[in-house]
A and B are shown apart, each in its own frame.
Chain A
Amino acid sequence: MSKRHYLQVIAVIFACFLALVCLLHYDARIAGPKEKSIEIILKARQNPPDFWRVVEQGIIEASNEFGVQCNVTAPSRESDVERQIQLMEEAVSRRPDAIILAASDQERMVPVCQEAVEKGIILVTMDSDIAYEGRRCFVATDNYEMGKKLAPLIDEVAGRGGRFGVIAHVQSTSTAEQRRDGLLDTIENAGGRLAALEYCEGSEDLSRERATAMVLAHPEIECMVGLNESSSLGITYAVQDLGREGEIAVIACDSSQKQIEYMEQGIIQAFVVQNPFSMGYLSVQNTVKLLAGETVPPVVHTDSVVIRKQDLYKQENQKLIFPFSNEGS
């Protein structure tokens, strides 16, 4: 080996040494990344149904875990599309890194969403999608699948030929439409058996009113189906109002403490629950991934589970139905 080679070897060793020292020095000085901010707009929040409360728990859990700043807002009523557009505009004006939206209306929310995306804000939808390709990810229950799960339950409680009525929440909301389609596509002889289908604009009172009218107008109805929490509760109240507990079976979507009480009392026979905690958590998780530049699937589905009265307190169902809370509700 010539002397020049020695020199080269020494030079390389010293260079590596220096480089590593610099690297370590630099490494030690790297500050934590700036906290990302995410605006989250739900369908309802004030005086909330349990569903959105649990979604928010999932959001909080994820925001703590991933170290992001989440600001959650929502209209007071699910059907208040105007208010949601307004909230969306306010959110855009705060220039967050990302917005997560549970759209009340899949068409009317599009312009404001376009505006957000044009301003470089990452848009993720949750629970209910919008008719706009610009959103990067949609986290929701597979609502069509959820609708399909309702069909055998109707057969169970009303027999294979029994007539049924449906109260859905908000027309033109994707969740309502997909659950309705899933149910009607799956059940045998849908046209012959469906007595009536009404919308309640996400209001328990309206659902109660229309369910009462529906049952009175169609005395042959053996089973009432609510496609979300508020419509289901309205139906339950209507059945109680009419004194027809046990005669008219109630199949519900989503769970709430009241629904659980009614199931314990035998008024609600079964419900299909979504996993709102997962939905909240996964929507934030996927948004965080998008903010980090990772790719995520355009649609992320959370599962739904059928709960009947007899398996309400099974260990695995307890975990799903009762949101875990250390403080108690």
Chain B
Amino acid sequence: MGRLHEYFNFHSIRTHMVLSFMLLISMIVLFVSLVSYQYTVRDFENVSIQYTVRLLNEINASIDSYVQNMKSIAQVVVGNRDVKELMEFYVTTHDKPLSYREERQVLPELRTAVMAHLDTVKNTRSDITNVAVISKFQDVVLSDPRKEVNTFSEFNLSDWYLKPLSNKDEIIVTPSHVQNLIQGEYKWVITLSMAITNNDGEVTGVMVIDLNYRSIEAICENAQLGKSGYIYLTDDKRNIIYHPQQQLLYSGIKTDLIDEVLKMDEPFMRRDTKTYVRNRSAITGWSAVGVVNTDELLTNRVSIIKFYFYLAGWALLVASVIAVIISTTITKPITILESTIHKVEQGDFTVQSDIRVPNEIGHLSNTFNVMITRIKKLMESAIASEEEKRKSEIRALQAQINPHFLYNTLDAIIWMSAAGKNEEVAEMTAALADLFRTSISKGDSLASLHNEIGNIKSYLTIQKMRYGDKLSYGIHIPQDLLGLMTPKLILQPIVENAIYHGIKLSPTGGTITIGARRTEKLLILTVEDSGVGMTEEQTARLFEPKENTDRGIGVINVNNRIRLSFGPEYGLHYYSEPGKGTRVEAWLPLLEGNRREKDV
């Protein structure tokens, strides 16, 4: 979770870039997908309309060839010698009474021959329900001898009978209608009729073939127009020849757009949810109309949508990965630079940015490097000046010691001169001179322990002369420690303090013992006195700064000097008990003498 959060840090440029990229890409992909989808769907619809047009062409071709086939069958009937003869017979004997032979022999024989011929023709195809010939005086011969003519049928008023009589060359194909020519039969059929002529070319009768819908239906049903699409046939006078839901249309429950379809100029039109495609045959004059449910295309539409969606999805996925890679590449130098700056923030001024890219970030990196170098220099000079300041402070502290002691010693000299002790004065003055020689010297604030001991010996000589028997001292320094370095003049204020506040106040006087030892890390100088000692309270207050008194000021200075020079772990430590004396330890670092020039 933490890593994830880090990865998608909302406040990083990288996340910002990734998201921006993805937003942009999403919008582009969406737009492109929508446009492509529109084109594809339109294309798809065009293809399906073209398909329907081709299909209708084929259907028309099939129907044309079917009708042609029927016409050639009709020609066979019309051209039959018996048929012609029978018709001629009916016409010539129409208004004459028949002779016995004619009635009993000629006519029945002729009829039988014609019937046999008609029956043969009828049986050639299963979709022929009836073949009949009718003379122009309405004598009917049916193909099936068992069937009777419906005497009430009034066929003589129908188009299929009248038209061939008046026009011998025309082959009539009727729209679907109920044929009532045969008694007890009322079938919906398509009737094909043509004139029968005698040898002189005069019309003597009409040949009729009734066709049921089986063949046309088979042609239309075989054509698949989607799940709910269908094909219907209509003639130019809006009469329906075939419709899969013919009875629904006849019952008035459903209607189909026949007028509009017949009037349309384009090969197709759209109404509501349906697309109508029309194709007219010049031979039959019939129009095959394909009705495609536009909703059917929806299934295809769904699969197209799906396709584009998966495409868009993959595009987005790939784009996202690329966006992450690009953003990371761009922002990586920034991240590195940021972490470098972060190190600087934590105080490391030694770092350098090593980004070497020839763009703004590269420039930024270079500028940063220049800047950090400058800061480093500034820092160094600041530290140097600080050091300088501290040193001058130390020097000031050192300088502070000298007047105190000088007053006191000079007081002592005055006091001895006044007493006429010339020898002592000479000795003390020599010691003072010695003391000053070691104290006021050029160079560093460090001196060898040897020098420091020499210095304190001079000092104690002076003080011994001042206090006489009241003060005695001993110095016990192991020889091997004499070469170690100590800050200058640290023993003198301690010893001074021991004399003034320890021994001076003791009525019996006391002894000062100076020693040194080394531990693993420390050089410890000890100053012991057998003076009055201090309470714990006094010891604790020893290093508190005091306002209006000189008391102890030297010791505080010494302590401060040690700590300023070496650190807080060094300094002075007091161990004291009232009446028993005081021991002071100066904890110092172990500084080998050869590091520094040995002073005098």
- Beta-carbon contact of A278 and B309 below 8 Å: no
A324 to B305, CA, bound (A): 43
> B185: which A residues are within 8 A, CB to CB?
328-329
- Beta-carbon contact of B253 and A278 below 8 Å: yes
> B187: which A residues are within 8 A, CB to CB?
325, 328-329
Known: A21-B309, A313-B180. A3 touches B251 (CB 8 A): no
Binds B, one of A9-17, A71-79, A92-100: A9-17
Known: A4-B10, A260-B186, A329-B187. A277 touches B309 (CB 8 A): no
> B150: which A residues are within 8 A, CB to CB?
261, 264
Residue A57 CB within 8 A of the other chain:
yes
> B152: which A residues are within 8 A, CB to CB?
261, 264-266
Binds B, one of A225-233, A288-296, A314-322: A314-322
- Beta-carbon contact of A328 and B26 below 8 Å: no
Residue A281 CB within 8 A of the other chain:
yes
Residue B47 CB within 8 A of the other chain:
no
Give the nearest-CB partner of B186 in chain A.
Answer: A322
> A313: which B residues are within 8 A, CB to CB?
154, 178, 180
Count B interface residues, CB 8 Å.
47
Give the nearest-CB partner of B312 in chain A.
Answer: A17
Residue A177 CB within 8 A of the other chain:
no
- Beta-carbon contact of B212 and A328 below 8 Å: yes
> A21: which B residues are within 8 A, CB to CB?
309-310, 313
A313 to B217, CA, bound (A): 24
- Beta-carbon contact of A3 and B11 below 8 Å: yes
Binds A, one of B17-25, B113-121, B350-358, B440-448: B17-25
A20 to B33, CA, bound (A): 14
Q: How far is the CB of B315 from chain A (nearest CB, A)?
A: 11
- Assign chain A's interface to a size class: 35 or more
Give the nearest-CB partner of A277 in chain B.
Answer: B251
- Beta-carbon contact of A281 and B248 below 8 Å: yes
Q: Which of B568-599 contact A (CB under 8 A)?
A: none
- Beta-carbon contact of B251 and A281 below 8 Å: yes
A275 to B10, CA, bound (A): 75
Residue A31 CB within 8 A of the other chain:
no
Give the nearest-CB partner of A5 in chain B.
Answer: B19
- Beta-carbon contact of B251 and A24 below 8 Å: no
Q: How far is the CB of A68 from chain B (nearest CB, A)?
A: 16
Residue B81 CB within 8 A of the other chain:
no
Q: Which of A10, A303, A320 gathers most chain B CB within 10 Å?
A: A10
Q: How far is the CB of A33 from chain B (nearest CB, A)?
A: 15
Q: Which of B30, B247, B306 gathers most chain A CB within 10 Å?
A: B247
> A58: which B residues are within 8 A, CB to CB?
247, 251
Q: How far is the CB of A39 from chain B (nearest CB, A)?
A: 23
Residue B16 CB within 8 A of the other chain:
yes
> A57: which B residues are within 8 A, CB to CB?
247
Out of B19, B23, B30, B253, which one reaches A282, CB within 8 Å? B253
Q: How far is the CB of B474 from chain A (nearest CB, A)?
A: 81
> B189: which A residues are within 8 A, CB to CB?
328
Out of A4, A20, A261, which one reaches B309, CB within 8 Å? A20
Residue B342 CB within 8 A of the other chain:
no
List residues of chain B with CB under 8 Å of any chain A CB. Answer: 10-11, 15-16, 19-20, 22-23, 26, 30, 129, 150, 152-154, 177-178, 180, 183-189, 212-214, 217, 239, 245-253, 302, 305-306, 309-310, 312-313, 316
List residues of chain A with CB under 8 Å of any chain B CB. Answer: 3-4, 6-7, 9-10, 13, 17, 20-21, 24, 27-28, 57-58, 61, 65, 257, 260-261, 264-266, 275, 277-278, 281-282, 303, 313, 315, 318-329
Residue contacts A-B, CB under 8 angstroms, 28 given: A3-B10, A3-B11, A3-B15, A6-B20, A9-B23, A17-B312, A17-B313, A17-B316, A21-B310, A24-B306, A57-B247, A61-B248, A260-B186, A261-B184, A264-B153, A264-B180, A277-B250, A277-B251, A281-B251, A313-B178, A313-B180, A315-B177, A319-B249, A319-B250, A322-B188, A325-B187, A326-B214, A328-B188
